[in-house]
Structures are given as C-alpha cells and as structure tokens.
Homo-oligomer: A and B are copies of this chain.
Amino acid sequence: MTLSGPAAPPSARSVLARDKLMRTAERLYAERGFAGVSVRQISEAAGQRNNSAVQYHFESRDGLIRTILSHHTALVEKHRITMVEALRGQDTVSLEDHYGCLILPNVETYIEAGTPAWCARFFAQALVEPALRDYVVREHLDTPSLGLLGEIGAIRRDDIRPDLLARHGTMVRQLSVHAFAELEYDLANGRVDPARAEESWHTLGRDLITALCGLTTALLGPL
C-alpha cells in the first residue's frame, strides 16, 4: 500500500481540490474517452501541483471514476425517490408513470447540469468500459428508488420469464443511457442549439418514454 486518504476530517482546501479533480476528470473523460486522458493530465488540468493528487484523494483512477458515478447517481436518486414515493398512493401505475419515474429524474439532473455538460457521456462510457460495466449496473442502477419501483411499478417481476425480464431491463438501460449521452454530445458540439437545451431535454424525455412503452408492450405483452 502507498498513500491512503486523510484520517482527520478533510480541510476545506482538500474538499475543494477533490471536487475540482472530479469535475475535471468528468469533462476530460467525456471529451476524450478513458483511453485519451492520463491521471497525471487530470491532476495538471485541475491545477494540482502534486501529480499523485488522484491517488491521494481517490486511491486510483477507478476510485476517482466510481466517486464521480456515485455523485451523479445521488443527484438522480434525489429526484427519483420523490417521484416513486408519490406513486405509492395510486391504485394502478401506468407504464407511462413507470417510465416517467425512470426517465424524468435524469432529465431534471441534466437540465440542472447546464450546457455544456459531461455527465451523460461520462456515464455512457463507463457503462461499456469492461472494468466498470458490472460495477455501474450493480451499484449505480440498483438504487432504493429503482428497488421500490420494481415493487410498486407497472412491470411486476413475478409475471414475466426471468431471462426475458433481464433482456428487457438491459434494453431499457442501454437505450436511455446512450440517448442521454447523444443529446449531451449534440448540445456540446452545437448540433443542437444550446439556447434550446432545456426544451431539447424535455423532448428527449417524452420521446424516450414513448419509445420505452412501445418496446415494453411489444416485448413483454400487455401489462
């Protein structure tokens, strides 16, 4: 073992440095891919004189990436748990409501992130990165809100063949994660007018809910 994290409560300066490293890494990875950026370049771009800053604050590149993912998941979860809790009182949950809970919390988070942002592309890259994909699915898509949605939502686990349910879940995840990344990319590159970012996110949200309802009914039958 080499350096470990600070034992005392982190100083304000340390918190700031950590935050700067996370935002810098997210941006550089989103723009250049995991292959295009070294840990040293992240430290330098974040204004850290010490080249082992990433190691000091996050132990490793993967530790840094996981911390960024956790931060993103927490932002989405804050919106989603409120929406899913609100479904509890309803007698029946429609497929539209179900996918509203899945998609709209991301839409809100991406609108709050502003333009340009990097989190959607970062997330999409992590989901196809061999060393990270299982982690992303397990730790970051298995949140309390999604657990609750599985219990009270429109798609009941007991009625559907497990292998078909797993395939369906994978399709829903991949379609939404990569569609969000695509719009973020288009906004960052001016292919979609940044002045219309908020409207574009809302439209994508509606299109995704429509597409997912159609895909689900076709694949799983009427629910």
Binds B, one of A80-88, A109-117, A122-130: A122-130
Binds B, one of A66-74, A139-147, A204-212: A204-212
User: Does chain B have a CB within 8 A of A219?
Assistant: yes
Copies in the complex: 2
User: Does chain B have a CB within 8 A of A78?
Assistant: no
**A102 neighbours in B (Cβ, 8 Å):** none
User: Does chain B have a CB within 8 A of A170?
Assistant: yes
User: Does chain B have a CB within 8 A of A10?
Assistant: no
Question: In the complex, which of the residues B130, B210, B212 contacts A32, with contact meaning CB atoms closer than 8 Å?
Answer: B130
Find the residue from A128, A182, A204, A212 having the highest chain B CB count within 10 A. A128
A32-B132 Cα distance, complex, nearest whole Å: 10
Given the known inter-chain contacts A131-B33, A167-B204, A215-B211, please indicate yes or no for A182 contacting B175, CB distance below 8 A. Answer: no
**A125 neighbours in B (Cβ, 8 Å):** 128-129
| Smallest CB separation, A210 vs chain B (Å) | 5
